[in-house]
Amino acid sequence: MTATAGQRPAVRAVLAAGAVAGAVGSIIALAVAVYHLIPRSGPEGTVAIRVLSTSPMTYGEWLKHEGVRMPGLPAARRRTPGRFILYDVSTDHFKSGAVLPVRLVVNGPATRTFSADPLKVTRGKTCGCKDWIPLDWLPRPPRGPYTIEVDVHQPGPIGETPLRLAPSTPFTVS
């Protein structure tokens, strides 16, 4: 069957519309491909933190708690005052194996930041975490109250702003 004179403009219109649709689809596909190639500086996933408790604990008590034997450690070092902190971290949308840096910040009349063991994201994506920080650097007599803030950062070098932070309940030091 051959196209009549009246059908040719309709065929041309359909072919032109198809060509325009193909061009638009190609441009959108190119834009999506370029978008995924551009590195983004935002966080990879989300973090939830809950500080469960903090309690006074000497360095020697911490070593015993962790099952570490250090027979040559001087008694004065074993008596170093500190604080045991127990906290939960849940992560979402991170790749398994991602490493999240953690900082513990003592806030109060005196402030100091400590690096904690980083969190390695696993399939469970949660951790019951614990740590110990020394408090022998506090001015004597220590004024209070103090809190310990748990800061979790996105993978890579630690930036200024954590992904999430959670403070402990206030405590005093004697």
Q: Domain for residue 150, yes or no? A: yes
pLDDT value at residue 109:
92
* Residue 72 and residue 107 in one domain: yes
**Could you tell me if 58 and 30 lie in one domain?**
no
Q: What is the structure's pLDDT at 161?
A: 85
Say if residue 15 is in the same domain as residue 56: no
Same domain membership, residue 70 and residue 19:
no
Whether residue 65 is found in the same domain as residue 85: yes
List the structure tokens of 154. 């996105």
Residue 54 one-letter amino acid: T
Global pTM reads 0.70
**pLDDT of 2:** 57
pLDDT of residue 32: 62
At residue 128, the pLDDT reads 83
Whether residues 138 and 96 fall in one domain: yes
Residue ranges in the chain modelled with pLDDT below 70? 1-7, 21, 24-25, 29-43, 123-125
Long-range contacts from 138-141, C-beta under 8 angstroms, 24+ separation: 138/110, 138/173, 139/109, 139/110
Residue 173 in any domain: the answer is: no
In a domain, 123, yes or no: yes
Regarding whether 94 and 34 lie in a shared domain, the answer is no
Q: What pLDDT does residue 101 have?
A: 93
Task: For 44-91, write each residue's pLDDT tens digit.
Answer: 778 899 999 999 999 999 999 999 988 898 999 999 999 999 999 988
Residue 79: inside a domain, yes or no? Answer: yes
Domain tally, the chain: 2
Is the N-terminal amide bond of 141 cis, ω within 30° of 0?
yes
Instruction: Provide the 8-state DSSP code for 137.
Output: T
Which residue range(s) make up the domain with 3? 1-38
Question: Are 162 and 102 members of one domain?
Answer: yes
Q: How far is CA 99 from the centre of its chain?
A: 8
Asked if the structure places residue 85 within a domain, the reply is yes
What's residue 144's pLDDT? 83
Does 28 share its domain with 70?
no
CATH number for 160: 2.60.40
Q: Is residue 115 situated within a structural domain? A: yes
Cα of 163 vs its chain's centroid, Å: 5
In the block, residue with structure tokens 């506090």? 138
Q: Look at residue 172 and tell me if it is in a domain.
A: no
**144 lies in a domain?**
yes
Q: How many CB atoms lie within 10 A of CB 18?
A: 10
Core vs surface per residue 161-172: b (16+ CB within 10 A) or e: ebbbbbebeebe
Report pLDDT for 5.
56
